[in-house]
Amino acid sequence: MFGVNPLIYMYFCYVDESGDAGLYDLNNPNKTGSPYFILAGLLVDAGKWKSSLNEIKNFRKKLAAKAYLNYDVEFHCAEMIDPRKTTAYNQMGIPDRWKVISEFASVIGKFTPCSVIGTVINKAKSILDPKG
C-alpha cells in the first residue's frame, strides 16, 4: 500500500525560452543566431496551480477591461518594451506599457505560492557544445 509522504512535493513548471539554440558568430552577428539563450521557469505548487492560473487570468481580464490589451493577445514583456512586431502593443503609449509591466511584476511578486528561476547563456563565451 502506498502512503502519502508529507515531505514529497509536486510542482508545475511553466517554462519559456528567449533567443535560439543556433550558433552565434561574434564576427557575423546578422547572419547567425542570437547572442544569448535564456531559459526561465515559473514554479507553482501543484496544490495551488488553479488559484495561480486564476490570478493571472484576473490580471489579463483587468488589462482587457482597461483597454490596454485584448485578453487573447499573448503577453510578452520584451515586446511591451520594443513593440515593433506586435500592433496591439503599438497602440499603447510608452508610460502605459511600463505601467502594465510594473503591475504584472507586482502581481507575480506578491503571489507567494510561486518561484521564478532562470538562466542566461552567453553563446560567445559558453563551453557548452550546441551540437550535443
- Given a cut of 90, whether residue 120 has pLDDT beyond it is yes
Residue 1 lies in a domain: no
Query: Which tens digit of pLDDT belongs to each residue from 35-53?
Result: 888 999 988 888 888 888 8
Cα 14 to Cα 55, 115, 116: the distances in Å are 15, 11, 10
* Number of domains present in the structure of the chain: 1
C-alpha cell at 50: 488553479
State the residue for C-alpha cell 547567425. 32
Mean pLDDT, residues 68-78: 79
Domain residues for 118? 11-122
Residue 70 lies in a domain: yes
Residue 82 lies in a domain: yes
- Given a cut of 70, whether residue 21 has pLDDT beyond it is yes
Q: At what angle do helices 49-65 and 94-110 cross, to 10 degrees?
A: 160
**What pLDDT score was predicted for residue 126?**
83
As a whole number, the mean pLDDT across the chain is: 81
Residue 111 lies in a domain: yes
Residue 39 lies in a domain: yes
- Given a cut of 80, whether residue 94 has pLDDT beyond it is yes
Residue 3 lies in a domain: no
Angle formed at CA 66 by CA 108 and CA 59, multiple of 5 degrees? 20
Instruction: Tell me the pLDDT band of 9, cut-offs 50, 70 and 90.
Output: confident
pTM for this prediction: 0.62
